[in-house]
Amino acid sequence: MQIATKLPKVGTTIFTVMSQLAAEHGAVNLGQGFPDFPVPERLIDALDRAMRAGHNQYSMMTGIPALRQAIAAKTERCYGYRPDVNAEITVTSGASEAIFDAIHAVVRAGEEVIVLDPCYDCYEPAIDLAGAKAVHVALDPLTFAPDWNAVRAAITANTRMLMINSPHNPSGAMLSEADMRELIDILDGTGIILLSDEVYEHIVFDGARHESVLRYPQLRERAFVVSSFGKTYHCTGWKLGYAVAPPALSAEFRKVHQYNTFCTFAPAQHAFAEMIEQEPEHYEQLGAFYEAKRDRFREQLLTTKFKPLPVPGGYFQLVDYSAISDLDDIDFCRWLTIEHGVTAIPLSPFYETPPSGQRLARLCFAKNEATLDAAIERLQKL
């Protein structure tokens, strides 16, 4: 049977490809962004208790009340805004589901969605499946800062949504308060909806403040704000996230969500509700936890031929490998995995049009010290 694909630009995701290659060659996998250290004990214990207590059936479509209440209290504590528990918070099966639901809730065929390149690879397929067009606006190739004049120039009568991501994957760059003021000015008087991917919101370094859209009334009144428990609590395989949006947007979001996953893993919802309420220090101290890993890994990289770029947030380290090879990034990452036993992620799959001559790769430092040490020992031989 011949099938006309709905996603002609999509193959197997680069994360799957590189992780499979790492497994085949016994490489230290610093590619796919998952921690290799334990989930917090309280969270495991809470999950076990929830399952044994019988919380194993469908939950409410929007998420269990206790978790939505915990999210509301945490949001107020972090950002000074308390979303309505019933009308503005929806629990999802990971942040990727929330991004998909948000796009399909409001974006129609023929409309345009502005994305800032490099961007996470799940954005454009969701836009394509909605029959819409992704309009790519390049970030600065060195600092990954947005060019707001270029964003303004990309807006047309067909622009329905603008997507932002801070801390940014893959670069770790962060939007500042000045950036948020620019966004307010750009979107004022338009019908453009904002989708803010904030899954690394608590992994912020050097005393900086995460500038969540939820801090700014002019932005949150037109925004979906997406968060991830997997990134915050070291359990990416649990696939639990949530979206905060004003009531009218949440109502449309839930229409898609209820026919996509309907609800998400019920025992984990009970566990996260308990964890957020009883151990807030986990997310409060997460930035310092990862900052120590970033600093140690950066010092190690300086003993290699890689040039590490600044990392303001998130748990990825970009490295310039131009002193090692002239290969393009995909070929370099394959070579590094097969010949030298360390797996990285190339940057070009995050772009529509990668910058000419760019020689950057992404390494994940959300790993045990032993894992990072083993990788560095191999990289020092290059």
- Residue by residue, DSSP assigns 241-306 as EEEE--HHHHHHHHHHHHHHTSS--HHHHHHHHHHHHH-THHHHSHHHHHHHHHHHHHHHHTTSS-
| pLDDT tens-digit readout, 262-277 | 999 999 999 999 999 9
Say if residue 26 is in the same domain as residue 73: no
Q: What is the pLDDT of residue 12?
A: 84
Q: What is the pLDDT of residue 32?
A: 86
| pLDDT tens-digit readout, 108-133 | 999 999 999 999 999 999 999 999 99
Say if residue 94 is in the same domain as residue 239: yes
pTM flag (> 0.85): yes
Residue 8: inside a domain: no
How is 12-60 classified by DSSP, letter by letter?
S-HHHHHHHHHHHHT-EE-SS----SPPPHHHHHHHHHHHHTT--S---
Q: Give the CATH number of the domain where residue 337 resides.
A: 3.90.1150.10
Residue 49: inside a domain: no
Q: What is the pLDDT of residue 10?
A: 85
Q: What is the pLDDT of residue 11?
A: 83
- Could you list the residue range(s) of the whole structural domain that residue 349 is in? 14-39+284-379
**Ranges of the chain with pLDDT below 70:** none
Residue 239: inside a domain: yes
Q: How far is CA 68 from CA 82, 83, 252, 258, in A?
A: 11, 9, 18, 17
Number of domains in the chain: 2
Say if residue 151 is in the same domain as residue 253: yes
Say if residue 352 is in the same domain as residue 266: no
Amino acid identity, residue 58? Y
Say if residue 252 is in the same domain as residue 313: no
Q: What is the pLDDT of residue 9?
A: 87
Say if residue 31 is in the same domain as residue 139: no
Q: Which of 244, 279, 314 is the last residue of a domain?
A: 279
Q: What is the pLDDT of residue 160?
A: 98
Q: What is the pLDDT of residue 237?
A: 95
Residue 46: inside a domain: no
Say if residue 73 is in the same domain as residue 194: yes
Say if residue 258 is in the same domain as residue 195: yes
| pLDDT tens-digit readout, 74-102 | 999 999 999 999 999 999 999 999 999 99
Residue 48: inside a domain: no
